[in-house]
C-alpha cells in the first residue's frame, strides 16, 4: 500500500486536538503535525477549515476532516485495527451522547468555575460537581468508559485528567475530583493518564497554567469592557 499522506493541524493547548492525537497513537498511525498559532492562523488551516477556522483538522490524502468527534470516527472507519468505537449501535449512539455532554455541559461548567468569581463561582462549582457526578456514574463496573479497553469516550473526556487539577492548583483549591467523592473518576484518571499512548502527550502543567491564566484575563476584561 502507498504511504498515507496524513497531516494534523492542532494547537498544544486544545483538548479537542489531544483527543485526535490519542486516537492516532492508539492505532499507531503516523502523521505529520502542524502547530497553529491561533492569533495568526496559517493559510492552510483557513483553506481546509474555512467555515469555523478551528483546530483540529485532519487532512488525509488531501481531503480535510473537521470536528474532533468526526475525525475520531473517520480514523476508526479508515484504520480498522484496534477499534475505538463501540460496535453495538446503541452503545455507539450513547457514547456520542456522552461525548456531547462532555463538550457542551461538563467542559463549559468547569470553565465557568475558573472564569467567574464570588457567588457566581460558587454556583458554577455546584453545577460542575453535579456534572462530574453524572460522569462518575458512567464508570460503574468499568475500567474505561467503554468497558475494559480505552476508546472513544475516554479520548473525548480525557481533558478532565489534566485540566481540572490545573485549575484547582491555579486557584489554590482543594482537589475537585477527590478519591472520596469521585472514587471511580479518580481511578480512571490514573489509568488513563498512565496508559502507554497517553502518558507522554501532555504539555507541562506550568505551560498550561500560564496559558489558562492568560485566557482568563482576556475573558474577564472583555466581559467588563
Ligand X SMILES: N[C@@H](CCC(=O)N[C@@H](CS)C(=O)NCC(=O)O)C(=O)O
Q: How far is the CB of 38 from ligand X (least distance, A)?
A: 5
Integer CA distances (angstroms), 112 to 8, 60, 82, 121, 215, in order: 29, 36, 36, 7, 12
Residues 125-164 that bind ligand X (CB under 6 A): none
Under a CB-based contact definition with an 8 Å cutoff, are residues 167 and 114 in contact?
yes
Give the single-character DSSP code of 96: H
Which helix or strand (DSSP H or E) is residue 60 part of? Answer: strand 57-60
38 contacts ligand X (rule: CB under 6 A): yes
Give which of 107, 129, 125 is closest to 171, Cα–Cα. Answer: 125
Q: How far is the CB of 84 from ligand X (least distance, A)?
A: 16
Q: Considering beta carbons, is residue 104 or 190 the nearer one to ligand X?
A: 104
**Grid coordinates of 182:** 469521585
Q: Specify the stretch interacting with ligand X by CB under 6 A; choose among 54-62, 92-100, 195-203, 209-217.
A: 54-62
Cα 219 off chain centre by: 21
Residue choice 55, 84, 167, 177 for contact with ligand X (CB under 6 A): 55
Q: Considering beta carbons, is residue 6 or 182 the nearer one to ligand X?
A: 6
**Grid coordinates of 51:** 467555515
Orientation of helix 107-115 relative to helix 159-171, angle to 10°? 10
73 contacts ligand X (rule: CB under 6 A): no
Q: Specify the stretch interacting with ligand X by CB under 6 A; choose among 9-17, 118-126, 173-181, 205-213.
A: 9-17
14 contacts ligand X (rule: CB under 6 A): yes
Residues that bind ligand X (CB under 6 A): 11, 14, 16, 38, 53-56, 67-69
Amino acid at each position: 500500500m502507498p504511504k498515507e499522506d496524513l497531516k494534523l493541524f492542532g494547537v498544544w493547548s486544545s483538548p479537542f486536538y489531544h483527543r485526535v492525537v490519542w486516537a492516532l497513537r492508539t492505532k499507531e498511525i503516523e502523521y505529520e503535525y502542524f502547530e497553529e498559532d491561533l492569533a495568526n492562523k496559517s493559510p492552510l488551516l483557513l483553506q481546509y477549515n474555512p467555515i469555523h477556522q478551528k483546530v483540529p483538522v485532519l487532512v488525509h490524502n488531501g481531503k480535510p476532516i473537521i470536528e474532533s468527534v468526526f475525525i475520531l470516527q473517520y480514523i476508526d472507519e479508515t484504520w480498522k485495527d484496534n477499534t475505538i468505537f463501540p460496535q453495538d449501535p446503541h452503545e455507539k449512539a450513547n457514547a456520542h451522547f456522552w461525548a456531547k455532554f462532555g463538550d457542551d455541559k461538563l467542559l463549559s461548567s468547569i470553565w465557568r468555575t475558573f472564569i467567574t468569581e464570588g457567588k457566581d463561582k460558587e454556583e458554577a462549582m455546584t453545577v460542575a460537581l453535579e456534572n462530574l457526578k453524572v460522569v462518575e456514574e458512567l464508570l460503574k463496573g468499568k475500567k474505561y468508559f467503554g468497558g475494559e479497553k480505552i476508546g472513544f469516550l475516554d479520548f473525548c473526556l480525557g481533558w478532565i485528567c489534566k485540566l481540572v487539577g490545573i485549575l484547582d492548583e491555579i486557584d489554590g483549591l482543594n482537589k475537585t475530583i477527590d478519591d472520596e467523592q469521585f472514587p471511580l473518576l479518580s481511578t480512571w484518571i490514573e489509568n488513563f493518564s498512565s496508559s502507554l499512548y497517553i502518558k507522554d502527550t501532555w504539555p507541562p502543567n506550568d505551560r498550561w497554567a500560564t496559558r489558562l491564566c492568560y485566557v482568563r484575563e482576556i475573558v474577564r476584561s472583555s466581559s467588563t469592557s
